[in-house]
Structure 1
Amino acid sequence: MSITAEDQKKYFSDWSKDNLGEKTGIWYAPFLENLGKLFKDFSLDNGRDYFTNFFNYRSFEEFKNIYLDITQQPESDVPVILKGINKRYPNSFNEINIKWLEKYSQMTFTEGNRSKPDNLGGIPALGVLLRAYLKFLYYAENPSLTYPKKDKKTSTHDGEIDESINYWVCAPGGDAGLWNEFYNSNVIGLGWDYLGDLEQYSSRAEIEKLMSEHRNDGTRPINDSKAVWEFYQEIKPGDIVYAKEGVKKIVGRGVVTGEYYFDNHARVLKHRRKINWTNNGSWNLKEQIAMKTLTNINRKPDFIAYIDSLINGEVIDENSLIVNEFKTWLSQQVQQSGEHLNDKTIAQKVSSLKDIENTFHVTVFGEIDTEALKNIKETVLADESYDRYKGVSGSSIDYYIRYVESRPTIKENEPYTVSDFLSEVFIDGEQLNRLRSVLQNKKNLILKGAPGVGKTYIADRLAYLMMEEKDDSRIQMIQFHQSYSYEDFIEGFRPKADSDGFELKQGPFVKFARKAERDPERDYFFIIDEINRGNMSKIFGELMMLIETEKRGKSINLLYSNEKFLVPSNLYLIGMMNTADRSLALLDYALRRRFSFFEISPAFDNSTFKDYLNNIGNPAKVLTVIDEVKKLNKVISEELGTGFQIGHSYFVGEAFKKDANNRTEEVVEYEIIPQLYEYWFDDETKADEWAARLRGAYYAN
């Protein structure tokens, strides 16, 4: 019995649903059914005589030739495409694809079926459409073979996101100041003009070196050099670019049509690419996007689909946005076996959560209070009459809790610059440059020093400086102690808060690392106070290897959950050591080599500290005491070591601004002198002598 075009359409729809995405077959089929006619109507056929209905092509070899003829793709790419690996289209085909989208949009607008002629919603990219049918024919003729991505297909936005191209968000100048010029000229531009034509550079390292020399602040311009290199080498014709204004508005959408060039005649932003701007307007986003000049957003298919929906004037269902984002996140999770969750498992977990919402009249999707979610889980598991999703409801809520905990927070924050740092931290510019460089290169840094030298404050401000903004959502601080363990830090079984038994809980490091992993374009900082008070090998466990710079991004299975876990490259560790604490054991040498160590010394002679003293009002007594402390520190350094000196932070704080004399007496009598008796516990005469000298310095004025 011969197969009709209608039969072929059904077979294609069924195969696509199972292999490409649940909605893909139903969506693509009507386009393929009329593709030959549309080609002729849109003048895309180049005089060739294609079947009006592409479902009349039944042979893989026959259609392969049609595919190669239309796309101009090399035949050597076909076996790769059939394995589900995305290959870029030739530049000539990108122009055809743009024309296809514009013509189809205009046609349906004229017919009254589209809100506006530049609304591209619901139109599949031509290349994606052709590849889908090519794959179907191949696997239909080879039923013993399985499409490699069958169980790894994206579970949301089936076919909406063209995985063969990149999607970018780019700022057309500060506050989109050059947007109108770029739109009218069909270009996009990038700054750092002093670099000149990028064709002269063979690597990103060369660009970064010149940028470092230009900045002259000792800092590696990692993000800036990344943006320049991506604009030069990673953006390709066919890519989609969204132009942004600030951090909460999109002003345009376009398709890249040309290669990189340097426009020496342009006023600013001389690094250029030709682009076909398909949309121009103003669309406010529901949440902020990264402040970076250029950002690749391929890892956020939900965000891409959301922006397109805004631009196309579609009604936005907030709940669907959350559900789809959760489904995408689930598709990226790795199981104990090393495999990603498949579509069936993802659909089951989402259905479970929706059923819980309906049955128990609670909100799961959109809930950000993890304690409330845990209470919902307890309620569901305690209800013996609820058995529809009994086997997966608990784990489904656990996944959603982890999704909420690891979701990055993006908001507009107060900027933080080198000047800000140097105005409130008592180290000089040269020290700062070295400090930043060490942390950037090693990623793991321990600030060591005497009590009161401001190690914790420096760590906090250093994180601000490297982020270039005061974003506390990207900083996590904890403190180690002698009883701190792997179970506290990574994961372990803990008693349930309001019932009998134990439950497996993730520690702060795992939660924070997963949050950083979801936000690779921005840096995160995990700060550990009193880092050498804990048993480091015991606390870090198998993660001792993963924190190494060269091991970032590699995953291992965690001890209790057996889940895959990695430490992302954008996560920095900063520890603090109080070198005067006699009770501390030496750091494990295996862990020691994984950190750089930077000593923070008393900064009594720092110019910023001196300015601070002069501004507190009536500083005479304070200055006299500090002079005596500096003499004391020389003796301490000679007899006990530099790590036992008295730090400058003893003389910093709001209390000094209110009553410097009274606060100085309190610090001397109740903080510094008791410390001296600890230092010279075996030589009380020495402690008595220096206590008398400090009191004498105070009462001298």
Structure 2
Amino acid sequence: MGKWIFQGNPKQFDVNTYVQENEVVEWSIRQKQFVDEISKDDNIFIWRSDGGNKNTGGIIALCEAVSDPIKEEEDYKVKLKILERRLTVEKGMLLRHELKEIPDTMNLQIFKISQLTNYRLSDEEYNRIINLWNAPMEVKERLKLSNVEKYLHLFKEDAANWFKENDDYIHKSYHFFEQFKEKENLEKVEWEEIQELGEHINAFRMPLAKKRALGNMNASIEHYRNSFDYLIYGTAPIVERIDHFISDEKYKLFGFGTSVVSELIGNLFPEDYCFYNQRDKVAVENILGLVPKYARGDTYGERLLKFQNCLKENELVQKYVEIVGKQTSLPIYYEVDQFFSFLFETFGKKENLPEDTDSPQYWLLGAGKGSFMWEDFYQNEMIGIGWEEIGDVRQYTSQREVTAALKEAFQLDHNPTNDALANYQFANEMKIRDYVFIKKGTKKIIAYGKIISDYKYDPTRELYHSIRKVEWITTGEWDIVHEQDRLNTKTLTDITPFEDYVERLLEIIGKEPKTVDYPETDTPVEIILENRAPYQLEELLAELFINADDIEEILETLDYKKNLILQGPPGVGKTFVAKRLAYLHLGYKDDSKIEMIQFHQSYSYEDFIRGYKPNNQGNFSLKDGIFYSFCKKAINDQENSYYMIIDEINRGNLSKIFGELMMLIEADKRGKKFAVKLAYSEGEETFYIPKNLYIIGTMNTADRSLAMVDYALRRRFSFINIEPAFHTEQFKEFLINKGISQGFIDKIVTAISEVNNEIINDMINLGKGYEIGHSYFCPTIEQVDDEQKWYDRIIRLEIAPLLREYWFDQEEKVNGLLDRLK
């Protein structure tokens, strides 16, 4: 049974009179995606908008649908039986401006997209509204409360269910840490027990973080024992112990950063301190609006303690006990932390609102080997995927992290690209109102349905834990006769981009009665994956002089922003780094997924996007530019990522080159729903940038001829600094492998570092952006037979001209520096 809000505007018709004088009313369905979802017996609230009279709108009636949607000319309408009407405040109408001020209803979609007619309600949203409808004075009472009290009252309604769902995990954590911190246990703790921390600390949920911190011992077991003993039983103030545990070589533990320490403090001292992780800070500072009295220069320990003091000053524990009441036998701060988690989950995440024009996506899903899961799919009206070993897929922020989790769980020596993509898309890209075909092998379809729920993780199920609810539209067995329509062998495939293919499948199952012409070719739609050379972090670290933490941060930024610019002085290998980052993000070496170009001052929109150019007949014809063509290539292969690497990106007139695509390169403006008509287009043709395309630019910070990067474009890119790596162990190891002696390597590092210091200290003409990069000293040959000759050639032909350009009017200074390099 569906739950809805239908809105009426008094400016367009007299809503009050219509609702007052009729027992059954008709309401338009303007959001066409809901036409086949609204049905008889659905529960519906009628919402009267302000209609120009401020603070007069709100919910005026509760109804029940007494018909399915009926098409009348070009419009769809549904008949509603009015169960109860309240047209005035005195009669219990729920006012819009008041509902917007209380947490129970402030997140309703009608507040975020106010111009629509039909809004879907979740069961939770409906239950909150019906509770207020049944006790309208409760709204007035909530408005009198402080912000903290408002949210505590809301949590009170959900607390029992919330703790029921999380009870097992938090109790296990509590009992583990109670045993762990016993002094006699701590004195003899072994590595296996240290590793068990990973099961109780959320900061270790990412496989890479867990592996680095707890995969192998990074110090002696005595060091771990002493560090934890100091943190728990040290005599110094807690702030000092926290800061020393994080940064003092005597106590710090590799991989135990501030997020881990926050959870350690909360678990080790649950009677005294709340957790201080990102979720808690968002809940307290962003949602509850409390202000810890941080000061510039505070250490992490000082900030953590000021956060605790803020909770005490605002009497949060007392108010929690008074309003919500103790829900468990656990220490109070465990419960307070769960309250903060509830706030974060409910109010702290950015919601991607569905657009009125959203089109559904179409998916092709297997039901396990031999379709053994199909019967369960059918009986329970759901779909699912396996790989339960990696847990709730929502904990991973990118496909790359899912890949790492699968590799860790199954001890793979290759990147499981297709399996990772299936999990990531199932959890993050599928959405309510999408359609799914269930396949059996590559020659048979056995069901077609509509997805009606968000992703859920249910560890109690036997066959699969990652699930979505589905409304089956039709089931049966339909053979794929034509070779062109052979079904993909992958578990999950987004077939939306192949519009003709989707239409043919719909025709096959009888849901799209139209004749479709087959293309002349018999090449299957199935994407055949060619042999690819895997490319993993270890290989990248061997090629680049950047540490693993920085690489992870860069990749996370690329996942989030989709657009990077690598900037740095000459000779740090920015273009080389860009291509290796693309390989690693993709998971394998495949140059067909990478396009490299270089901007220059004459580069134009017509070269990059599209424009009219002379043809062989002496006329002008419309030609696609390199970026346009590459986007089309990515659109036609949305199972894979594509990378446009733009060298010297700041040498072009960026606003002119990108034109109207300036907006579309933003991460949240990707996809078909943001398509625009280009300056040069034919008919009603539109264009968009797909979600699977990434842009990596490079920029020389010592380029005197470049103009400032356009600020509108600057905010659409993340800028990553690539610095000289002379002092890194990787650089020294690289030269050793090229046959260069250790003493000579020390000479190179010392001499170039001295010159770079001179460059940095010349703040008037140069500065840090003009340093000499390490790539000048990275030979491409297998072995350097004469290191002095090789070095002298680099100094004479590359470094000397660069220094003379830097200090073109200071010949003596340049000669002095060159003497140091001899």
Query: TM-score, with normalisation over the residues of structure 1?
Result: 0.53
Is 1:190 equivalent to 2:385 in the alignment? yes
Distance of aligned partners of 1:592 and 1:299 in 2 relative to their CA distance in 1, 3 Å threshold: closer
Checking the alignment, whether the CA contact within 8 Å between 1:255 and 1:278 is kept in structure 2 is no
Distance of aligned partners of 1:303 and 1:660 in 2 relative to their CA distance in 1, 3 Å threshold: farther
1: CA distance, partners of 2:486 / 2:592:
14
Q: Deviations over 1:283-342 (max 9, x none)?
A: 997799989753332442444577799999xxxxxx96436xxxxxxxxxxxxxxxxxxx
The one of 745, 764, 769 equivalent to 1:643 is 769
1:556 deviates by 3.4
Q: Secondary structure of 1:676's partner?
A: helix
The 5 Å alignment of 1:452-531 reads 452-496=571-615, 498-531=616-649
Q: Secondary structure of 2:589's partner?
A: coil
1: CA distance, partners of 2:443 / 2:723:
48
Checking the alignment, whether the CA contact within 8 Å between 1:656 and 1:663 is kept in structure 2 is no
1:630 deviates by 2.4
Q: Name the aligned partner's letter for residue 548 of structure 1.
A: E
2: CA distance, partners of 1:291 / 1:586:
49
Aligned to 2:206: none
Aligned to 1:591: 713
Distance of aligned partners of 1:255 and 1:491 in 2 relative to their CA distance in 1, 3 Å threshold: closer
Aligned to 1:632: 755
Q: Deviations over 1:220-254 (max 9, x none)?
A: x99744322567x6488x8422256xxxx678754
Aligned to 2:691: 569
Checking the alignment, whether the CA contact within 8 Å between 2:578 and 2:696 is kept in structure 1 is yes
Q: Secondary structure of 1:477's partner?
A: strand
Aligned to 1:350: none
1:465 deviates by 2.2
2: CA distance, partners of 1:614 / 1:435:
28
Distance of aligned partners of 1:626 and 1:184 in 2 relative to their CA distance in 1, 3 Å threshold: same
2: CA distance, partners of 1:289 / 1:470:
26
2: CA distance, partners of 1:283 / 1:421:
45
Q: Name the aligned partner's letter for residue 493 of structure 2.
A: T
Checking the alignment, whether the CA contact within 8 Å between 1:616 and 1:657 is kept in structure 2 is yes
Checking the alignment, whether the CA contact within 8 Å between 1:241 and 1:255 is kept in structure 2 is yes
Q: Secondary structure of 2:809's partner?
A: coil
Q: Secondary structure of 2:707's partner?
A: coil
Q: Name the aligned partner's letter for residue 566 of structure 1.
A: Y
Aligned to 1:541: 659
Is 1:322 equivalent to 2:519 in the alignment? yes
1: CA distance, partners of 2:647 / 2:703:
13
Q: Name the aligned partner's letter for residue 445 of structure 1.
A: L
1:428 deviates by 1.0
1:660 deviates by 6.2
Distance of aligned partners of 1:594 and 1:263 in 2 relative to their CA distance in 1, 3 Å threshold: closer
Q: Secondary structure of 2:676's partner?
A: strand
Distance of aligned partners of 1:413 and 1:684 in 2 relative to their CA distance in 1, 3 Å threshold: same
Aligned to 1:559: 679
1:601 deviates by 0.4
1: CA distance, partners of 2:366 / 2:588:
18
Q: Name the aligned partner's letter for residue 460 of structure 2.
A: N
Checking the alignment, whether the CA contact within 8 Å between 1:168 and 1:242 is kept in structure 2 is no
Q: Name the aligned partner's letter for residue 242 of structure 1.
A: K
Checking the alignment, whether the CA contact within 8 Å between 1:523 and 1:570 is kept in structure 2 is yes
1: CA distance, partners of 2:807 / 2:528:
49
The one of 605, 608, 611 equivalent to 2:733 is 611
Distance of aligned partners of 1:525 and 1:197 in 2 relative to their CA distance in 1, 3 Å threshold: closer
2: CA distance, partners of 1:510 / 1:484:
15
Checking the alignment, whether the CA contact within 8 Å between 2:567 and 2:699 is kept in structure 1 is yes
2: CA distance, partners of 1:607 / 1:170:
47
Aligned to 1:432: 551
2: CA distance, partners of 1:561 / 1:682:
52
1:431 deviates by 0.9
Checking the alignment, whether the CA contact within 8 Å between 1:171 and 1:294 is kept in structure 2 is yes
1:480 deviates by 0.8
Q: Deviations over 1:390-422 (max 9, x none)?
A: xxxxxxxxxxxxxxxxx9996453333333322
Checking the alignment, whether the CA contact within 8 Å between 1:191 and 1:270 is kept in structure 2 is yes
Q: RMSD in angstroms over aligned alpha carbons?
A: 5.1
Q: Secondary structure of 2:783's partner?
A: helix
Q: Secondary structure of 2:687's partner?
A: strand
Aligned to 1:295: 493
Distance of aligned partners of 1:507 and 1:440 in 2 relative to their CA distance in 1, 3 Å threshold: same
1: CA distance, partners of 2:399 / 2:626:
39
Deviates more, 1:179-188 or 1:424-433: 179-188
Aligned to 2:780: 654
Q: Secondary structure of 2:756's partner?
A: helix
Checking the alignment, whether the CA contact within 8 Å between 1:77 and 1:87 is kept in structure 2 is no
Name whichever structure is richer in helix by fraction.
Answer: 1
Deviates more, 1:634-643 or 1:467-476: 467-476
Distance of aligned partners of 1:573 and 1:265 in 2 relative to their CA distance in 1, 3 Å threshold: closer
Q: Deviations over 1:197-230 (max 9, x none)?
A: 79xxxxx6x775999699699xxx9974432256
Aligned length: 452
Q: Deviations over 1:104-157 (max 9, x none)?
A: xxxxxxxxxxxxxxxxxxxxxxxxxxx9xx98x989xxxxxxxxxxxxxxxxxx
Aligned to 2:811: 684
2: CA distance, partners of 1:288 / 1:669:
62
Q: Deviations over 1:458-480 (max 9, x none)?
A: 11122222222323333221101
Is 1:226 equivalent to 2:226 in the alignment? no
1: CA distance, partners of 2:737 / 2:484:
45
Q: Deviations over 1:375-402 (max 9, x none)?
A: xxxxxxxxxxxxxxxxxxxxxxxxxxxx
Aligned to 2:341: none
Identical-pair percentage? 37
Distance of aligned partners of 1:564 and 1:413 in 2 relative to their CA distance in 1, 3 Å threshold: same
Distance of aligned partners of 1:425 and 1:191 in 2 relative to their CA distance in 1, 3 Å threshold: farther
Checking the alignment, whether the CA contact within 8 Å between 1:208 and 1:222 is kept in structure 2 is no
2: CA distance, partners of 1:409 / 1:207:
27
Aligned to 1:38: none
Deviates more, 1:642-651 or 1:293-302: 293-302
1: CA distance, partners of 2:610 / 2:780:
39
Q: Deviations over 1:479-512 (max 9, x none)?
A: 011211222222223222x342333322112222
1: CA distance, partners of 2:643 / 2:25:
45
Distance of aligned partners of 1:280 and 1:630 in 2 relative to their CA distance in 1, 3 Å threshold: farther
Distance of aligned partners of 1:250 and 1:432 in 2 relative to their CA distance in 1, 3 Å threshold: farther
Q: Secondary structure of 1:240's partner?
A: strand
Q: Name the aligned partner's letter for residue 548 of structure 2.
A: G
Aligned to 1:262: 458
The 5 Å alignment of 1:24-103 reads 87=36
Distance of aligned partners of 1:171 and 1:673 in 2 relative to their CA distance in 1, 3 Å threshold: farther
Distance of aligned partners of 1:186 and 1:540 in 2 relative to their CA distance in 1, 3 Å threshold: closer
1:85 deviates by 7.6
Checking the alignment, whether the CA contact within 8 Å between 1:556 and 1:565 is kept in structure 2 is yes
Checking the alignment, whether the CA contact within 8 Å between 2:439 and 2:487 is kept in structure 1 is no
Deviates more, 1:432-441 or 1:81-90: 81-90
Q: Deviations over 1:524-574 (max 9, x none)?
A: 222110111112222223332332344444343322437533333333222
Checking the alignment, whether the CA contact within 8 Å between 2:422 and 2:493 is kept in structure 1 is no
The one of 703, 710, 718 equivalent to 1:581 is 703
2: CA distance, partners of 1:209 / 1:477:
24
Distance of aligned partners of 1:443 and 1:290 in 2 relative to their CA distance in 1, 3 Å threshold: farther
Could you say which structure has the greater relative contact order, defined with CA pairs below 8 angstroms and 6 or more residues apart?
1
Where structure 1 has 5 or more consecutive residues not aligned to the other structure, the ranges are: 1-74, 92-130, 140-162, 199-203, 313-318, 324-364, 368-406, 697-701
